[in-house]
Structure 1
């Protein structure tokens, strides 16, 4: 029997990827990297890596007399095999390839999953990003046809039961009811599953929600240009994975703002108003009651998906 070291390394790498993915799912840390709706795909990938590992183990040991690849060398032609069977000499090119593949495994096992925070928000542009988001949403709203003008669906006046919504997927009717709840509510509850939708709707018509009470959670973010009694209550919105994470949040006003450290999570209640920041109109929350809280188990927000029936 002949032992193939490189084939054994490849088998180990496949097993390591499978174990790492299973570990992230078991500990619940996978949602710190991807949108939960993709967990099924990630679990499938873990199983696939495991199957490939099992197949790869059959290549670690071979019978010596069968180790020569006749299909790679033909007596009538003077050429060699153009692909690698794992027993070619180890060289610098292979070393670099293995290091690139192994790097995510090393970081995945040795480094703890880090939640995006104010430092990342600052690198992504902070309030400047919020200004761009507002402008883009306004352009899309003006360019898109008004669905309601083509015929309003019959809307049930009952409130949407958010507890039975699975994977943040709504039917068109449920989504319309959700927007109606926002428009009619005297107190806006910015729960995690509706946060991004309410945030977008409110930015479409800021004056419409002036004077409304609002309850929300977020981490403290600050940047130059804000008053001493102002901060941003921010959250990160993830569409697919942390690579596309974007900051959303509300400028908030409270006397103790200067004493609060960035990245502190607070739960706040206040009244909505509007303000101007660098020439852009923003909603502002005049906080009336607040408290420091622990970082939520699920700190990220995810957009709502609407089923097309």
Structure 2
């Protein structure tokens, strides 16, 4: 029997990776990294790390043969070469950052890097639906209508429920832009802004001030996640009020107001003339996700 330091290090690393995934799921922070529909896959990954960790424990002490002094076998299991040090450093880095740094919520700085908040028909720089189209082409899945399977996504509705939510947009006294319907409502209001002039609306999000805005303007924004953080796209509603200058970027607000139409960069867009304001805490789930519907 012999003691292999390399196996000990590998077991420790696998153990920490398993703990990190368990921590993310226990605290709910996993949703700040991935779309909830991939939650099961992430749990499977955590189980695989646990299994590999247990296997590695058995390898820490193992029998090996003793060969003559002129054999060519490598007995440097406990030696640290430059190659091994670099390799372990690369693996250790995400473990250290994962445990020491809190996952940051996407904010106005990221929004500025994503480009204009204008929807696809107005801007070539930004488009939620470019990401959606690439998903449907690659996987042959309609992200708004998945009739064949009920995907493990927190944001799925039956077709009847989805239809009722759209009816509320057409006839409710106050249009409440909920997290589950944020994408469809945002798309409809941008496609047909004239249709909703004078309607009352209630929406939440964080303050984002795009370059070129007047002092009385900002976008009340949310990030739409299709797969993961890497494909995040910014959606939002243009707000106008004399109090807009009082609120810094990344401030979370709940706003009530009346819909109107304004011209921005040569395009007619819906704008909310704010009547009521309330500063709120960042929600536990700051992102919104595409709606997945199925036949019940």
Asked if these proteins are the same fold (TM beyond 0.5), I'd say: yes
Contact conserved, 1:36 with 1:167, CA < 8 A, in 2?
yes
Q: Specify which of 224, 230, 235 is matched with residue 237 of structure 1.
A: 224
CA distance in structure 2 between the partners assigned to 1:135 and 1:7 by the alignment: 48
CA distance in structure 2 between the partners assigned to 1:171 and 1:239 by the alignment: 19
Q: Which residue of 1 aligns with 2:101?
A: 111
Where structure 1 has 5 or more consecutive residues not aligned to the other structure, the ranges are: 74-79, 142-165
CA distance in structure 2 between the partners assigned to 1:63 and 1:187 by the alignment: 73
Contact conserved, 2:4 with 2:78, CA < 8 A, in 1?
no
Q: Which residue of 2 aligns with 1:206?
A: 193
1:121 matched to 2:120? The reply is no
1:1-309 equivalences in 2 (<5 Å):
1-65=1-65, 87=77, 90-127=80-117, 131-132=122-123, 167-307=154-294
Query: Post-superposition, which runs of at least 4 consecutive aligned residues in structure 1 deviate over 6 A?
Result: 133-136
User: What's the CA shift for 1:308?
Assistant: 6.0
- SS of the residue corresponding to residue 120 of structure 1 reads helix
Structure-2 change in CA distance of 1:137 and 1:124 (3 Å):
closer
Query: How many correspondences in the alignment?
Result: 272
CA distance in structure 1 between the partners assigned to 2:10 and 2:44 by the alignment: 20
Where structure 2 has 5 or more consecutive residues not aligned to the other structure, the ranges are: 134-152
Contact conserved, 1:188 with 1:214, CA < 8 A, in 2?
yes
User: What's the CA shift for 1:89?
Assistant: 5.4
User: What's the CA shift for 1:88?
Assistant: 8.4
- SS of the residue corresponding to residue 286 of structure 1 reads strand
Deviations 1:191-218 (A, max 9, x none): 1111122112222222222221110111
- SS of the residue corresponding to residue 231 of structure 1 reads strand
Structure-2 change in CA distance of 1:201 and 1:88 (3 Å):
farther
Structure-2 change in CA distance of 1:126 and 1:95 (3 Å):
farther
Q: CA RMSD in A?
A: 2.9
Structure-2 change in CA distance of 1:135 and 1:54 (3 Å):
closer
Contact conserved, 2:252 with 2:279, CA < 8 A, in 1?
yes
User: What's the CA shift for 1:289?
Assistant: 0.8
Higher relative contact order (CA 8 A, sep 6+): 2
Give the greater-gyration-radius structure (CA).
1
Contact conserved, 1:24 with 1:30, CA < 8 A, in 2?
yes
CA distance in structure 1 between the partners assigned to 2:77 and 2:266 by the alignment: 65
Structure-2 change in CA distance of 1:6 and 1:199 (3 Å):
same
Q: TM-score, normalised by structure 1?
A: 0.79
Contact conserved, 1:137 with 1:204, CA < 8 A, in 2?
no
